[in-house]
Amino acid sequence: MKDPAAIRKTLENVSTIPTLPIVIEKITRLLQNPQTSAEDIGRAITTDQALASKVLKLVNSAFYGFPGRISTITHAVVILGFSTVKNVVLTASIFDAFSKRVSANTNFEMEKFWLHSIACGAAAQTLAKRIGHSAKEECFIAGLIHDIGKILMCNYLPAEFELVIQNRIKKDCLFYESEREMLGITHQELGGIIAERWNLPQALQSAVKNHHYLVQDKDFSTVSGIVHASDIFVRALDMGNGGDNKIPQMSEIVWNNLGFENIQMQQLLEDIESEVEKATVFMQLV
């Protein structure tokens, strides 16, 4: 097995890991000020034209479900609200930073990986809605980025990534099981490095670091739990592929805390499927 601390250190020292655009920080600051107007947000986003056009494409898609045409960012802010637009900008920026069509590893299909991630995000949003969790857009982003550690490994630790993949194929096991066996560290911890570096909200950091609930007595966090369950559902429904063909065990803590015994499962699966379909618009950003 490789030295997990050395792997972590290597990744922490990579200077080319993408950063989020300055506009995210600017918007976060603007949103803390009660005097901020829709025009202020619009102006901040349109300083980055490429980003602004992606944001407009997304807000006009079926995913956001607004029947008319939204033609300016300011209009989007008025219609959809500050926080939705901020989340759209964050989503578009994550794609900009990471989604490359080509994988450095022939046994890892990038397009299927992104479909799995987008589907997990859409499923997380659906589940959040179902259990009445208020931050459903945050759940979408949490699902979208939960496996970001795999992309980091694929791009910046290619030799280690190849070891994990070959072992995963040989043992027909889960990706994280292979990671633990070969590297002693998983994509959760590696993804956590970038989530911290990007200074993402705590709930998102926690979902990246704990979505497999490998530590059973870990404190329950709703967003991580929602992503944990959503990952299992989209695997079962064959939506994309995050790097293996197995289903992980659902944590009992998550199952009980989210109240699955009282959720009508067929309806939930129907809703997940229809949300995932609307969310395939995000594949156009890949």
Partner 1 sequence: MKRILVENITDKMVLAKEVCGTSGSVLLGKGTVLTASMGHRLKNWGVLSVHVEGEDESPQQNGITGITPEEVRTALEAKFSRVMGSEIMKKIFAAVYKFKIQHNSR
In angstroms, what is the minimal distance from the CB of 221 to partner 1? 19
Q: Which is nearer to partner 1, 46 or 280 (CB)?
A: 280
Alpha helices in 132-186 (DSSP H): 136-145, 148-156, 158-171, 175-182
CA atoms within 13 A on the CB side of 107: 16
Place of tokens 């989604």: 99
Q: Which is nearer to partner 1, 211 or 235 (CB)?
A: 235
How far is 72 from 266, CA to CA, in rounded Å? 39
In angstroms, what is the minimal distance from the CB of 285 to partner 1? 13
Q: Which is nearer to partner 1, 10 or 274 (CB)?
A: 274
Q: Does 5 bind partner 1 (CB under 8 A)?
A: no
Concatenating the DSSP letter of every residue in 224-255 gives HHHHHHHHHHHHHTT-S-SS-S--PPPPHHHH
Please identify which residue in 79, 255, 257, 285 interacts with partner 1, judged by CB under 8 A: 255
Binding mask of the shown chain, residues 59 to 98, with x at each position contacting partner 1 by CB under 8 A: ---x------------------------------------
Q: Which is nearer to partner 1, 107 or 274 (CB)?
A: 274
How far is 75 from 141, CA to CA, in rounded Å? 23
Positions 20 through 59 that interact with partner 1 (CB under 8 A): none
Which tokens in the block code for residue 13?
């020292």
In angstroms, what is the minimal distance from the CB of 269 to partner 1? 4
Positions 224 through 253 that interact with partner 1 (CB under 8 A): 232-233, 235-240, 245-250, 252
Which tokens in the block code for residue 57?
């494409």
What SS3 class is residue 215? Answer: coil
In angstroms, what is the minimal distance from the CB of 82 to partner 1? 28
Q: Which is nearer to partner 1, 46 or 105 (CB)?
A: 105
In angstroms, what is the minimal distance from the CB of 155 to partner 1? 21
Alpha helices in the chain (DSSP H): 4-13, 22-31, 38-46, 49-59, 73-80, 82-98, 110-131, 136-145, 148-156, 158-171, 175-182, 187-197, 202-210, 222-236, 252-257, 265-279
Q: What is the DSSP letter of 278?
A: H
Residues that contact partner 1, how many (by CB under 8 A): 31
- Residue 153: other Cβ atoms inside 10 A: 27
Judged by CB under 8 A, the stretch of 18-26, 45-53, 124-132, 276-284 that binds partner 1 is: 276-284
Positions 153 through 192 that interact with partner 1 (CB under 8 A): none
Positions 101 through 120 that interact with partner 1 (CB under 8 A): 111-112, 115
How far is 11 from 34, CA to CA, in rounded Å? 39
Q: Which is nearer to partner 1, 77 or 174 (CB)?
A: 174
How far is 266 from 180, CA to CA, in rounded Å? 34
In angstroms, what is the minimal distance from the CB of 230 to partner 1? 12
Which residues of this protein are in contact with partner 1, per CB under 8 A? Answer: 62, 111-112, 115, 232-233, 235-240, 245-250, 252, 255, 260, 265-266, 269-270, 273-274, 277-278, 280, 283
